Structure 1
């Protein structure tokens, strides 16, 4: 738990900004700074935000308030992002945050694919912080922003489920058929995901679901070390989206754990289908680096996806997971930062 106040200050800076930029790209800053604070690097929060600031946009305009009678038609409407964030801010101010989360989690779970899975990841980071310590106003507001973003970007996907893949999560990911259409962004590719193995469909026991979910996070993280070159940014979400769900389970009643596993599996498998490379790369071990040293490399690199995948790798904590984090550092472009240059700016790279 961060006791320096840096995370709360960073979140307050960010809550003046919208959840997206350019109408489609996610604001990753709340997730990244939560990972920094959770890993003992709260002192880097403002410095990292200064580098990321060029990617932020103003908070979006409001349309009309969302109410208990009007929420369903607004679900999945990105123009209503501010209305949704306002709605969850009011809900969390009036009731315990776990109560609000428990009510809305099953409503939002089928739409996990919207926003390239970033909304559920943002919620997972917010919940981890709330579970770790005091529910300060900025941390509660962050949960409202995450849930509001999820509701605004809600998107269902209907896939045919093939017979269950044999073996564990690693074998199941290997069995995911890649889509034929390889062009376009996440939303365009998602339209072509029609067939996934039913690896998690038969699990009903809550504790078995939790164990399966942890296994999926581990397998997807390991897989990045050899398959991340298929798309170095998007394949991060095959691991970080199910890990966000795993982090949220302790705040949810056990009856919701098995449905959460099924949704997380479908999201991870869909990302795998959309971006899997034709052939795996050779595995490169992490060597003798400690988890702290690997996270330091991620912080110096600065890219938000590198930081978040490394944060997930540290949840697992073994050498194969650290190798995946280092592979992400290797494949990804470092975060650029703007410096003043006369009357304009130029971009520099660390």
Structure 2
């Protein structure tokens, strides 16, 4: 990679960012709205009502990125009733005792404080690189929301200034992931699939289609083999991950009616991993693909409907669709539309419109 990086791991010039797979488009927020919003949100915990996720940091990042900064504080004012204070700390997480604290949701505040200290003392990329392989097996944590939150955070750090609120947001995302760390059951591998789309179509639904996601994921028994030849080359792993995000986004257009909110994560979780790849050493890209496939397939198994339904194509532009998602106000719809715009083709835009139609508006 050309160029240099500063202490916090951000690229010092645009060529470095481009060579690393990122883009300089929408690279920063000259309004300061994102930092203001993150500071508002960081007094809150990552969950509410026991285990429902705080989507605020992810939604405001997407809103700012797509030119909706003027709407952010109004959106937060409306969303704020869903926020709960950060839980009280219990005992300190350290380099020696972290194994026993992993996956303990009572330690959310302890984990957040740990990562705040780590990212204050070391470049954020170094912290991410150390912890990514430790956390990746638990990608199902919090219905995949922690990895999605990390993906939004890393995207901002890669394409803009590593300000204190943005580095703190990474700490909050990693802390949430560590506290909710949850591995998936060991599944039997079924017949190989020729493509990511065919693999998602071949995922068998869990037997009991009721209850919360933790109950459903516990039933996961079988997944098709995909990719048929697991890539040794990091570039191929990235290409297959892009294929998976595209296939899951497209599938929402025809299958999102099965569970309009939960099925967005079949696309947004692997896209979070894809967004994080440029900040990771290339040897971590192939295992990242494997985890992303497991997460997308698991969500598909948990919520897939009995069959597809027709959808209408859209002539709306990407900008028009995101403006509609912002006006709609639902956090999952905003985040899914953000992912659909990353994919960018006609079917993805139709899937974004489908999410706007299926999910109830909140503004």
Provide the residue aligned with 1:122 in structure 2.
Answer: 149
Match of 1:179, SS state, is coil
The answer to whether the 8 Å contact 1:127/1:247 transfers is: yes
Q: Deviations over 1:168-205 (max 9, x none)?
A: 11001011111111110000101001111121372221
Provide the residue aligned with 1:243 in structure 2.
Answer: 271
Deviates most, 123-132 or 162-171: 162-171
Equivalent of residue 133 in structure 1, options 160, 169, 176: 160
Deviates most, 194-203 or 175-184: 194-203
Match of 1:103, SS state, is helix
Provide the residue aligned with 1:262 in structure 2.
Answer: 290
- Using the TM superposition, give the Cα deviation of residue 23 of structure 1 relative to its aligned residue in structure 2, in angstroms: 1.0
The answer to whether the 8 Å contact 1:161/1:198 transfers is: no
Provide the residue aligned with 1:342 in structure 2.
Answer: none
Equivalent of residue 27 in structure 1, options 42, 54, 74: 54
Q: Give TM-score, length-normalised by structure 1.
A: 0.94
Instruction: Note the 1:1-350 alignment, pairs <5 A.
Output: 1-200=28-227, 202-286=230-314, 288-335=315-362, 350=363
- Using the TM superposition, give the Cα deviation of residue 89 of structure 1 relative to its aligned residue in structure 2, in angstroms: 0.3
The answer to whether the 8 Å contact 1:165/1:171 transfers is: no
Q: Give TM-score, length-normalised by structure 2.
A: 0.91
The answer to whether the 8 Å contact 2:190/2:222 transfers is: no
- Using the TM superposition, give the Cα deviation of residue 11 of structure 1 relative to its aligned residue in structure 2, in angstroms: 0.2
Q: Which runs of 5+ in 1 are unaligned?
A: 336-349
The size of the alignment, in residue pairs, is 335
Deviates most, 128-137 or 198-207: 198-207
The answer to whether the 8 Å contact 1:29/1:49 transfers is: yes
- Using the TM superposition, give the Cα deviation of residue 163 of structure 1 relative to its aligned residue in structure 2, in angstroms: 4.2
- Using the TM superposition, give the Cα deviation of residue 164 of structure 1 relative to its aligned residue in structure 2, in angstroms: 5.0
Q: Which runs of 5+ in 2 are unaligned?
A: 1-27
Match of 2:223, SS state, is strand
- Using the TM superposition, give the Cα deviation of residue 137 of structure 1 relative to its aligned residue in structure 2, in angstroms: 0.2
Give, in whole Å, the separation in 1 of the partners of 2:222 and 2:235: 27
Q: Deviations over 1:30-59 (max 9, x none)?
A: 000000111121121101101101100011
